[in-house]
């Protein structure tokens, strides 16, 4: 018994013998603890001994071999990686059991970060030496298999370098993975080099030969393609249409297309015939391609060669011949070749029906009807019934009657559930002929409500509400799915009254669900009635239905178009329902962020996006970058770009996303990042789009390198695959870049280059050229450009006139500028806008024409052109230069109150300047106080004006207070303290030049050397503040020379 066994195991003699087996002397206390532990676990020990005995009796020899099993599982897992397959059973444990998992995981993470080629080469060799000694080839295979399409050129170069450095001979599988990656990245030179190496080693397996053929076809190299085809001849020859790999017909199809484009089909036919490759599926691909091109001559030649080879025409081949036939006789002849079969095949019948419709021939149509099988397919039924439409061979005065006759005689039993167009054809015929029973039979034959709802929704595109209602009435029952489908048709037809009646019926029938309410809310949103949409949302919640993201997204989008306040009200309501932002919600929020958005709205929108816990993808990354650019949030944009460069970055596969990132780096004036993105895009084989190229040229041109932009354009023009991407808009960025750098000789050279290439100019191009004329002071060129615009049939717009007007103002030809304004006012196509008036006001300010400027302001208001902050800043400058500072304050007060304008930093700066220019420092400080009270953050110019005025007036204590407040080293003066220290500190801080100028002014002009030295000692302890290293010596020397001054 178990008790006896326990007594046998734990006995006093056994306990007394324990110390004899212990190598080190133990104290009696430790021995007693061990004995107590054994006695306490004796039941578990007994159970374990019994289990071992039973296992030995039942299973024989006892052996634990978990390590061996794990090695077997790991081996199978690695083999799965090696062959690109991982079974579901081993997939979860692959990362922990595969001996290469650590290497693959480490390198995959490392390659996602932007590294130099040297760093990647070093890291891959290092990791191979750590985790894959003796199994380097298998490890590299696992890495490339795991990376798949995310493999880039740097990774491939690193793999090749590792093989060379360690003297390893690649396996056939590794060769194939490398070649496949090179082909995917369109790196033709590297592919050709490696293929030559493979062929030299004799390791060109069939899969590698297929890759070679794909590469040759992609390069449009017909000779190389034919050579590769001959190398695969034995494989293609043994493949039938039933057993051939899907890759072979696709390659043959592309090869036939290439030969057809190069007018070399006869040559290809000869090669096919010589190699006896005109088997069934090759012939099908040949005939199908020739059929699409209407090349009947080569089709007949292919048929003759195939018959000489003993290949019979398949149904698909005969169908292609019928489609390509040029006459009724040819079509009938090709079809008659199929009638010897016991049952005419469907494909030739469909092709013959299409030919009958094309030729509008009743003979062909009758032949189709004569050979209709007992159980025709839906495709054949659709082809036959279309013969009854207007212009068809079976058309009659009442086409609906003919359709119904054919349907009831031949196709009543055909399953039409997969052919919505055929359902509509029969349903429309039944409705037109007043046959409700046929319509009811058709609707009832559909398998479920989803299919019936699809038929109902098909009426939405044609806005045929009556037809949808008849189908709805023919349905055997009306559930929520059908009500919602009919409701969507009502919404598409903009029939709100019918939609509301239908919703009432659905509610009475208990069939109104969340989708019903969402659809009805969409109708109110489309009609612009946001109030009723929100009222319906409240009713929805009152009846116990919980709104979802779809519900709120429609209303949020409409509210965002109305105002930001309305949008946030709806978002608050969504959050109250416990819903988080969906990807569509985030897209709406990011789209709502514009240049005019308030900082708090921007911060909250981005906070909601970040808290949504959405997986970052290309679309979200692009949207975030564009939103940051629109709002000039360089801080957030820098953070997102830094995150993208880390290991958590998104793997980018689209040219659109690369365009957004390039534009972002350009916005941050980071040319290194711009080129890094462009080089990464090329390394990954992502073909640039026209927009991507435009973003790249704009980024380098606006950051002071228009020469690099022009060089990139020339590079694109040399490549026939990218030549079509270049247009006048892209050139326009280069024009603006040279213009802003005052390289007007280059502007005209680029203009001439564009003319030689016969590029299609746009109004944007001409406006850029006219702007260059204005900047260079060459207004005489403008008339020539306007003549070219007229020749190109491009009408000037408001920007064109405003730019010309600006040029006249700069050229001191104000009267001519006003003439341009009058011409614009007489135009029927457009009227002067705010930019036009602001430009002319600036011209008046330039020459101190106060009366004329005020008259222009009255004209602006009379034309219902709303002034802006820019208008106010120009008006303040006008009053200042006209020596009327009080008028500046009067205009700002009047216009800001009338048009609800919140003064910005530029207006306040100009007001400060108006005060300091007229030696009125107290009023300037009052403006500064008002500026802080309105939470408008000053900039360096604000402090420059105030500090210089303080020094000029010898107001050293005010200057010292302003300096300390600007750098945040002391409490603000009493009059400014209530606004907080943060709002007074300018973005980016004060410049070392301004601080030095102020301190030296205090010391020299105001003879306050000791105060200047004290200020310097305070300022030099400010972290991050750079000061002139020679300044303390100059201040100390001046203080020593003036010992009697301030203590």
Q: What is the pLDDT of residue 716?
A: 92
Q: What is the pLDDT of residue 674?
A: 94
DSSP state of 377: -
Alpha carbons 913 and 609: distance in angstroms, whole number: 42
Among the ranges given (25-29, 591-595, 751-755), the one the predictor scored with the smallest mean pLDDT: 25-29
pLDDT tier, 247 (very low <50, low <70, confident <90, very high otherwise): low
Question: Measured between alpha carbons, how far is residue 508 from residues 354, 479, 503, 839, 1017 in Å?
Answer: 49, 12, 9, 64, 82
DSSP state of 981: S
Q: Nearest 5 degrees, angle CA 620-CA 622-CA 625?
A: 110
Alpha carbons 74 and 101: distance in angstroms, whole number: 10
Q: What is the pLDDT of residues 818-829, one digit of tens each?
A: 988 888 888 877
Please determine, for residue 936, whether its predicted confidence score (pLDDT) is greater than 70. Answer: yes
Q: Do 867 and 899 contact (CB within 8 A), yes or no?
A: yes
Q: What is the pLDDT of residues 128-153, one digit of tens each?
A: 887 666 788 888 888 888 888 778 88
DSSP state of 409: I
Please determine, for residue 889, whether its predicted confidence score (pLDDT) is greater than 90. Answer: yes
Q: Do 900 and 870 contact (CB within 8 A), yes or no?
A: no
Reading the block at residue 974, the tokens are 């009493």
Alpha carbons 596 and 403: distance in angstroms, whole number: 60
Q: Do 351 and 322 contact (CB within 8 A), yes or no?
A: yes
Q: What is the pLDDT of residues 697-721, one digit of tens each?
A: 999 999 999 999 999 999 999 888 8
Alpha carbons 842 and 836: distance in angstroms, whole number: 10
The closest alpha carbon to 42, from 89, 85, 7, 86, belongs to 7
Q: What is the pLDDT of residue 246?
A: 55
The closest alpha carbon to 508, from 472, 466, 471, 543, belongs to 543
The closest alpha carbon to 432, from 392, 473, 401, 395, belongs to 401
Alpha carbons 771 and 748: distance in angstroms, whole number: 12
Alpha carbons 1018 and 1039: distance in angstroms, whole number: 16
pLDDT tier, 874 (very low <50, low <70, confident <90, very high otherwise): very high
Q: What is the pLDDT of residues 997-1007, one digit of tens each?
A: 898 888 888 88
Alpha carbons 244 and 238: distance in angstroms, whole number: 8
Mean pLDDT of 726-750: 90
CB atoms within 10 A of CB 61: 5
Alpha carbons 397 and 508: distance in angstroms, whole number: 44
CB atoms within 10 A of CB 290: 23
pTM above 0.85, yes or no: no
Residue positions counted in the chain: 1047
pLDDT tier, 66 (very low <50, low <70, confident <90, very high otherwise): very low
Please determine, for residue 242, whether its predicted confidence score (pLDDT) is greater than 60. Answer: no
Share of the chain above pLDDT 70, in %: 86
Q: What is the pLDDT of residue 651?
A: 84
Mean pLDDT of 458-464: 88
Question: Measured between alpha carbons, how far is residue 812 from residues 236, 739, 780, 806, 848 in Å?
Answer: 81, 21, 15, 10, 12
Q: What is the pLDDT of residue 924?
A: 94
Mean pLDDT (the chain, rounded): 81
Alpha carbons 747 and 710: distance in angstroms, whole number: 11
Q: What is the pLDDT of residues 176-234, one digit of tens each?
A: 899 888 888 888 888 888 888 888 887 778 888 888 888 888 888 888 888 887 777 77
The number of helices, as runs of H, and strands, as runs of E, in the chain is 61, 0
Q: Is 413 helix (H, G, I), strand (E, B) or coil?
A: coil
Among 37-41, 897-901, 987-991, top mean pLDDT goes to 897-901
The closest alpha carbon to 553, from 539, 528, 573, belongs to 573
The set of residues, in sequence order, having a beta carbon less than 8 Å from that of 487 and lying 6+ positions away, is: 499, 502, 503, 506, 516, 519, 520
Mean pLDDT of 883-911: 93
Reading the block at residue 209, the tokens are 């030969």
DSSP one-letter string for 695-758 = HHHHHHHHTT-HHHHHHHHHHHHHSTTTGGG--HHHHHHHHHHHHHTT-HHHHHHHHHHHHHTT
DSSP one-letter string for 877-899 = HHHHHTT-HHHHHHHHHHHHHHH
Alpha carbons 27 and 334: distance in angstroms, whole number: 106
């Amino acid at each position: 018994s178990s008790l006896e066994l326990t007594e046998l195991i734990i006995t006093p003699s056994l306990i007394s013998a324990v110390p004899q087996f212990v190598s080190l002397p133990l104290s009696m206390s430790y021995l007693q603890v061990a004995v107590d532990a054994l006695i306490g676990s004796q039941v578990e020990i007994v159970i374990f001994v019994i289990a071992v005995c039973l296992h030995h009796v039942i299973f024989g020899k006892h052996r634990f071999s978990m390590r061996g099993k794990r090695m077997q599982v790991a081996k199978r897992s690695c083999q799965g990686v090696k062959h690109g397959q991982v079974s579901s059973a081993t997939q979860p444990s692959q990362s922990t059991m595969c001996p290469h998992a650590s290497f693959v995981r480490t390198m995959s993470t490392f390659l996602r970060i932007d590294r130099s080629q040297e760093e990647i080469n070093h890291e891959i060799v290092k990791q191979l030496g750590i985790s894959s000694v003796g199994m380097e080839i298998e490890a590299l295979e696992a890495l490339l298999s795991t990376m798949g399409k995310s493999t880039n050129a740097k990774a491939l170069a690193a793999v090749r370098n590792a093989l060379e450095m360690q003297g390893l001979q690649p396996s056939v599988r590794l060769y194939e993975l490398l070649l496949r990656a090179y082909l995917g990245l369109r790196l033709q030179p590297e592919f050709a080099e490696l293929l030559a190496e493979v062929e030299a080693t004799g390791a060109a397996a069939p899969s590698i030969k297929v890759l070679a053929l794909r590469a040759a076809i992609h390069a449009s190299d017909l000779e190389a393609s034919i050579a590769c085809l001959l190398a695969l001849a034995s494989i293609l020859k043994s493949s039938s249409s039933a057993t051939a790999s899907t890759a072979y017909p696709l390659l043959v199809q592309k090869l036939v297309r290439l030969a057809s484009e190069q007018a070399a089909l006869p040559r290809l036919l000869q090669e096919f015939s010589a190699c006896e490759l005109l088997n069934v599926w090759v012939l099908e691909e040949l005939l199908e391609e020739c059929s699409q091109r209407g090349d009947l001559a080569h089709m007949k030649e292919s048929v003759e060669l195939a018959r000489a080879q003993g290949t019979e025409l398949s149904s698909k081949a005969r169908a292609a011949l019928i489609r390509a036939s040029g006459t009724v006789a040819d079509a009938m002849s090709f079809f008659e070749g199929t009638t010897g079969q016991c049952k005419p095949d469907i494909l030739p019948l469909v092709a013959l029906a299409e030919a009958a419709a094309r030729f509008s021939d009743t003979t062909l149509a009758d032949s189709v009807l004569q050979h209709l099988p007992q159980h025709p397919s839906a495709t054949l039924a659709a082809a036959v019934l279309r013969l009854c439409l207007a212009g068809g061979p079976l058309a009659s005065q009442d086409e609906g009657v003919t359709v119904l006759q054919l349907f009831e005689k031949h196709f009543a039993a055909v399953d039409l559930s997969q052919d919505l167009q055929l359902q509509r054809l029969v349903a429309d015929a039944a409705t037109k002929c007043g046959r409700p029973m046929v319509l009811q039979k058709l609707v009832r034959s559909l398998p479920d409500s989803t299919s019936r709802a699809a038929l109902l929704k098909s009426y939405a595109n044609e806005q045929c509400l009556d037809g949808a209602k008849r189908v709805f009435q023919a349905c055997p029952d009306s559930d929520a799915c059908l009500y919602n489908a009919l409701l969507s048709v009502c919404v598409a037809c903009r029939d709100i009254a019918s939609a509301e009646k239908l919703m009432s019926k659905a509610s009475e029938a208990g069939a109104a669900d969340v989708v019903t309410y969402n659809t009805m809310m969409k109708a109110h949103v489309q009609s612009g009635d946001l109030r009723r949409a929100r009222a319906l949302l409240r009713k929805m919640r009152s009846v116990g239905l919980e709104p979802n993201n779809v519900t709120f997204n429609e209303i949020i989008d409409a509210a965002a178009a109305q105002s930001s306040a309305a949008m946030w009200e709806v978002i608050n309501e969504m959050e109250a329902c416990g819903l988080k932002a969906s990807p569509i919600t985030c897209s709406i929020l990011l789209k709502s962020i514009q240049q005019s958005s308030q900082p708090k709205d921007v911060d909250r929108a981005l906070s909601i996006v970040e808290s949504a816990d959405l997986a970052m993808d290309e679309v979200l990354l692009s949207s975030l970058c564009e939103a940051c650019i629109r709002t000039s949030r360089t801080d957030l944009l820098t953070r997102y770009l830094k995150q993208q460069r880390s290991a958590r970055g998104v793997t980018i596969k689209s040219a659109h996303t690369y365009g957004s990132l390039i534009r972002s780096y350009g916005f941050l004036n980071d040319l290194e990042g711009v080129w890094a993105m462009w080089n990464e895009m090329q390394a990954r084989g992502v073909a640039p789009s026209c927009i991507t190229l435009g973003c790249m040229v704009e980024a380098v041109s606006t950051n002071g390198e228009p020469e690099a932009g022009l060089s990139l354009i020339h590079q694109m023009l040399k490549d026939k695959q990218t030549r079509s991407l270049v247009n006048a808009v892209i050139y326009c960025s280069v024009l603006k870049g040279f213009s802003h750098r005052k390289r007007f000789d280059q502007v005209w050279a680029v203009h001439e280059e564009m003319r030689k290439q016969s590029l299609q100019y746009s109004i944007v191009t001409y406006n850029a050229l006219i702007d260059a004329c204005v900047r260079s002071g060459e207004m005489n060129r403008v008339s020539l450009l306007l003549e070219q615009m007229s020749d190109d049939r491009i009408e000037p717009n408001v920007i064109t006139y405003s730019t010309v007007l600006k040029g006249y103002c700069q050229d001191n030809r104000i009267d001519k500028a006003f003439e341009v304004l009058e011409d614009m006012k007489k135009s029927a196509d457009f009227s002067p806008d705010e930019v036009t008036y602001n430009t002319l006001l600036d011209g008046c300010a330039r020459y101190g024409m106060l009366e004329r400027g005020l008259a222009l302001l009255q004209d602006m208001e009379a034309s219902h052109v709303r002034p802006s902050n820019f208008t106010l800043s120009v008006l303040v400058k006008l009053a200042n230069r006209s020596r009327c500072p009080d008028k500046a304050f009067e205009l700002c007060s009047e216009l800001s109150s009338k048009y609800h304008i919140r003064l910005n930093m530029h207006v306040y700066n100009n007001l400060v300047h108006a005060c300091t220019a007229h030696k009125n420092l107290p009023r300037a400080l009052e403006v500064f106080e008002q500026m802080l009270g309105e939470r408008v953050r000053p900039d360096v110019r604000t402090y420059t004006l105030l500090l210089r005025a303080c020094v000029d007036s010898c107001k050293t204590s005010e200057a010292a207070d302003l300096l300390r407040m600007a750098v945040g080293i002391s409490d603000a003066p009493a009059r400014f303290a209530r606004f907080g220290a943060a709002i007074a500190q300018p973005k980016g801080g004060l410049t070392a030049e301004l601080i030095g100028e102020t301190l030296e002014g205090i010391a020299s002009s105001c003879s306050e050397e000791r105060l200047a030295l004290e200020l310097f000692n305070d300022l030099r302890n400010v972290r991050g503040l750079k000061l002139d290293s020679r300044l303390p010596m100059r201040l100390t020397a001046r203080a020593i020379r003036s010992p009697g001054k301030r203590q």
